[in-house]
Structure 1
Amino acid sequence: MADLSAFPITARWPAAHPDILQLYAAPTPNGVKVSIMLEETGLAYEPHFVNIGDNESHNDAFLSLNPNGKIPAILDPNGPDGQPLGLFESGAILIYLADKTGQFLPKDAAGRYETIQWVMFQMGGIGPMFGQLGFFHKFAGKEIADKRPLERYLTETKRLLDVLEQRLTGRQFMMGDAVTIADFAIVGWVRSLVGFYDAADLVGYDKLTALSAWFDRMMARPAVQRGVEISARP
């Protein structure tokens, strides 16, 4: 049995099955990227709910694994060279799991880097912009008289959605006929934008026919359906 006692996070979230990968997450768009990937790969893992509403991602135990205090994070007892590996940043975790399992990332170099570029597109653009739009549309931003922040993030969100629409026109998935980590990176954010943030009408989602068809295909996948619920509050 693997000994994970050197990792302080396991004192706060004990591992019932320390020989398998440990996932520390919540059902946010970033959190579900990893649980979707794990469900799709079939890799054994143990999920731990991190209550970000109670600021648990900023307690000492979580910060010992991710000093940036953001979910998700993983602890793999069977990391490179058979040594335990702690890892944070959802994009990095997706790439790591793809390399570990040999799944959902093209083997050829050109396809690999093209896929990674779309993961970075999500990390650097979709995530921050959709999140800010959601804040100013649904949450405290409503109380701000100056509407320029909402307009700024709405304009940029629409632009990013147009990029996705163009990319997915004539394609089943972001890289063509095969689903990849690029799809797993993006699907949770689109789900939150049109669902949790209630911004479908605001961004003109119904007009994005290629994107909406892709989203429906993704959400019809049983592993995606499981993945978006895995890290939900117990």
Structure 2
Amino acid sequence: MIDLYSWATPNGHKIHIMLEETGLPYRLHKVDISRGDQFRPEYLAVNPNSKIPAIVDHDTPDGKPLAVFESGAILIYLAEKSGKFLPADKHRRYDVLQWLMFQMASIGPMYGQAWHFRSVAPERIPYAVDRYTNEVTRLLRVMEQRLKDSAYLGDSEFSIADIAAWPWVKGSEKYGQDMRDFPHVVKWIAKIAERPAVQRGLNALAKAA
């Protein structure tokens, strides 16, 4: 059994979706970041960086519980555990991994900064708004070019690269983007949204105790 500690954010949804897609058994524990649950000592014992998500896998080969934090690391761990969504072939594997890192290093941070300066910063700073909004536009252009030539972001098949990027990119209008400029990205968003496991992942927290 896997204990998942999470909340309704793009990074949390990555792992909800991955667990639903793989079918691995899990228990979902809500970490309400609006109340500061991520700073509680019992959670810091799992993730010393006080962010969500994190997992503890109790079903390991040596029988010792294994804690993993950082959503990209969790996706790789679950892909290797389940044998799904990360190809074994070296060339295809690194296609997926490089696009996973593209999400971790670029999409997540830039979308996060764009959201902050556009929506929640106490002072509206035009330079910051323009800088991060324009960077989100640039990243969407990179994705658009990729998705012209590939059915999915990291490979010809659905993978952890798609699972990582989709929860961020699906709401790009909120980050000041005109999605009419990115028709291949829009098609990719819609295709993934139709997957039953993705729909279950988005609703996982509503069903948790």
CA apart distance, 1:215: 0.3
Report the equivalent of 2:152. 173
Q: 1:72 and 1:85 mapped to 2: Cα distance? A: 14
Q: Residue 30 of structure 1 contacts residue 188 of structure 1 at CA under 8 Å; is this kept in 2?
A: yes
1:193 partner letter: S
Residue 222 in 1 paired to residue 201 in 2? Answer: no
Q: Secondary structure at the match of 2:151?
A: coil
Instruction: State the 1:114 CA deviation.
Output: 1.7
Map 1:1-234 onto structure 2 (within 5 A): 20-140=1-121, 143-144=123-124, 146-194=125-173, 198-199=174-175, 202-232=176-206
Secondary structure at the residue paired with 1:169?
helix
Percent identity, aligned pairs only, is 45
Give the deviation of 1:80 after TM superposition.
Answer: 4.1
**Normalising to structure 2: TM-score of the pair?**
0.94
Matched to 1:184, the amino acid is I
- Distance in 2, Cα, partners of 1:192 & 1:46: 27
* Whole-angstrom CA distance in 2 between matches of 1:171 and 1:76: 33
Q: CA deviation at 1:112?
A: 1.1
Stretches of structure 1 lacking an aligned partner (at least 5 in a row): 1-19
Which ranges of structure 2 fall in alignment gaps of 5 or more residues?
none
Q: Deviations over 1:104-124 (max 9, x none)?
A: 001111211221111111011
Question: Contact 1:29 / 1:192 at 8 angstroms: preserved in 2?
Answer: no
- Paired residues in the alignment total 208
Per-residue CA deviations over 1:15-41 (Å, capped at 9, x if unaligned) read: xxxxx1100000100001111000001
The higher radius of gyration belongs to: 1
Match of residue 14 from structure 1? none
Q: Relative to structure 2, which stretch is displaced further, 147-156 or 202-211?
A: 202-211
Instruction: Report SS of the residue matched to 1:91.
Output: helix
Shift of 1:173: 1.0
Deviations along 1:114-151, whole A, 9 cap, x unmatched? 2111111101100010011111112225x32x310001
TM-score (norm 1): 0.85
Local SS of the residue matching 2:62:
helix
- Letter matched to residue 101 of structure 2: M
